[in-house]
Amino acid sequence: MTVELGERTSLAEIREELLDCESAEERLNYLIEIGETLPPFPEALGVEEYRVLGCQSMVWLVPTVTDDRIEFIATSDAPMVRGLISILIAAYSGTTSQEILEFPIEQFFDEIELKSFITPMRSNGLHSMILRVKSIAGETQGNRASNPANVDSPASERPKRVVTKTIENAAADFPILRRKHSSGSRLVYLDSAASSQRPKQVIDAISHVYSTHYSNVHRSGHELAAETTVAMESARSAVGRFINAPNWNNSEVSKSIVFTSGTTASINLVARAWGEANLEMDDEIILTEMEHHSNIVPWQQLAQMIGATIRWLPIRDDYQLDIDRLPELLSKRTKMVAVTAVSNVLGTINPVRTIAEMAHRVGSLVLVDAAQAIPHGDVDVQSMDADFVVFSGHKMLGPTGIGVLYGKTELLNAMPPFMGGGNMIKSVSKTGFEPAGLPHRFEAGTAPIVEAIAMQKAVEYLESFEEGAILAHERSLASEVHRRFKDIRGVKVYGPDIEAKNGIVTFAIEGMHADEVGRRLDLQGIAIRVGHHCAMPLHQKLGLSATCRASFYLYNTLEDVEVFCDAIERMLTERRQ
């Protein structure tokens, strides 16, 4: 859309006119006058994507990047705010991103004694507008630095990592690993598949938000709200970059990233919002025998509600999916294939791209549960070509209570809201409501604010390692466990060869219940997981009620492997005596 920019009042003219005014009333009247000189704002651009959050009134700001300069058009439903917008347009529009970031706007406000004639709420709204402008400038500058020719990045290209950390030194960043177990032993934490530990950078981020600028987001117009809103939306963009969402380097990425409370909530959102609107009786959903309950029960609930049928893709004797069986399960009645990227029990890494291609041929959508894949830092949603991808923050060094639903925007746009309440609406009347745009229509109520902001630090931490390094490290440790266990009579490992899995090692000891194994290891400071791991259908397939699971992550060491394997050997030796 081409917009007529028109002539702008210069900053020098604004300064001169305001300083000539003799009263606050005259200055306010002048702001209203210059606000009337803004060019007409196209009604089609007055959408959620361009709304400036944190303002008392409604404000929309639209950037256009041409060569090395950024032009802005903006408007507001408040006449005086349009005057403030005129000041920002005069200061920033038509300049480079670097000039925007360096311009001393606060100094100009002091010169015109701005705070003497506008209210604190208007001042805070102005602060939100400035943060939005600078955020756009920062994104533009970052994109230009990584793409100096200023051409569109290929669809599958993700930003190059700046490697600042090595696996060998990772454990030092995790304060909890320095604690002693109550037994006096060194803590050996091997339960990261359930929930990872957090580095100091994430812990400090949580404290920083609560200590310096915490407030609710997207609503209040004061400074704290504006700072917190910007930080949360920055985290949303960081997640998009991390998973290589389409258009990760512009505002479109925000539309495809929905914050939820976790993987479970994300799957339930899709099952209810998409499923109820699109499935009919006798339609089919395909699941696999290695799914977590979170990727089973929501679909079972939907199937019971609609009258749909669930079909199951089996696993082979080598603990991998029997992909050759998928074509006979797929049909025109198939509406959804929901598959885990990595089994939380077996560690099996599944060929989700191949599954997506096969499913799309019959018109089915695909949801990928990436909860166990995302911690390695190599999830690429474009490469997967899945329609929905879900994961949790707490498995990837982030806080609990925060998760992500990535969805292709055309699908998310067509889905009705799942929950109703505050923040998810554009307007409400006695006769109905109009939902907000993406992603906010799916984020009813108060968001997991601090958790989302801290999740950005988790993303940045994972991005500081060389791509593929985390998975390679986990495999090296798991491989050593496999080697040691081969020499221990009575231990059986469940999972594929090391080349087809990650750092999960699930096992059982002949004649010993998993609970006893876990308890005896815990007495020595070794933390593993025992039970069915929220995968009862898989355990039924394996003929087991429970297993033991040791899961290795970037902060584990070869010493951890040795302590763990030695403990298993001692346990069996003592049992035989």
Q: How far apart are CA 555 and CA 336, in angstroms?
A: 37
Q: Concatenated DSSP letters for 305-356?
A: HHT-EEEEEPB-TTSSB-GGGHHHH--TTEEEEEEESB-TTT-BBP-HHHHH
Q: How far apart are CA 498 and CA 488, in angstroms?
A: 18
Q: How far apart are CA 127 and CA 227, in angstroms?
A: 9
Q: How far apart are CA 230 and CA 524, in angstroms?
A: 46
Q: How far apart are CA 554 and CA 75, in angstroms?
A: 49
What contacts 24+ positions apart, CB below 8 Å, involve 91-99?
A: 91/11, 92/133, 92/137, 93/5, 93/8, 94/69, 94/70, 95/69, 95/70, 96/68, 96/69, 96/70, 97/70, 97/137, 97/138, 97/140, 97/141, 97/144, 98/137, 98/141
Backbone angles phi, psi at 168, to 5 degrees: -60, -30
The distance in angstroms from the start CA to the end CA of the chain is: 82
- Exposure string for 263-293, b = 16+ CB within 10 A, e = fewer: bbbbbbbbbbbbbeeebeeebbbbbbbbbbe
Amino acid identity of 358? M
C-alpha triplet 388, 295, 241: angle, nearest 5°? 35
Residues 6+ apart with CB under 8 A from 258: 266, 269, 404, 405, 406, 407, 412, 438, 439, 442, 443
Residue pair 202/454 in contact by the 8 Å Cβ criterion: yes
Catalytic residue among 21, 55, 534, 548: 534
Over its C-alpha atoms, the chain yields an Rg (Å, rounded) of: 27
Beta bridge partners of 338: 367
Amino acid identity of 233? E
- Exposure string for 172-183, b = 16+ CB within 10 A, e = fewer: ebbeebeeeeee
Residue 388 belongs to what H/E stretch?
strand 388-392
Q: How many CA atoms lie within 13 A of 81 on its CB side?
A: 25
**55 given a catalytic annotation:** no
What are the Cα distances from residue 305, in Å, to 267, 277, 300, 302, 412? 16, 12, 9, 5, 22
Nearest to 5 by CA among 120, 76, 90, 109: 90
Backbone angles phi, psi at 167, to 5 degrees: -60, -35
Task: Please name the residue ranges forming H helices in 77-119.
Answer: 79-92, 97-102, 105-111
Q: How far apart are CA 16 and CA 21, in angstroms?
A: 9
3-state helix, strand and coil shares in percent for the chain, rounded to the nearest 5: 45, 15, 35
Question: Which residues are annotated as catalytic?
Answer: 534
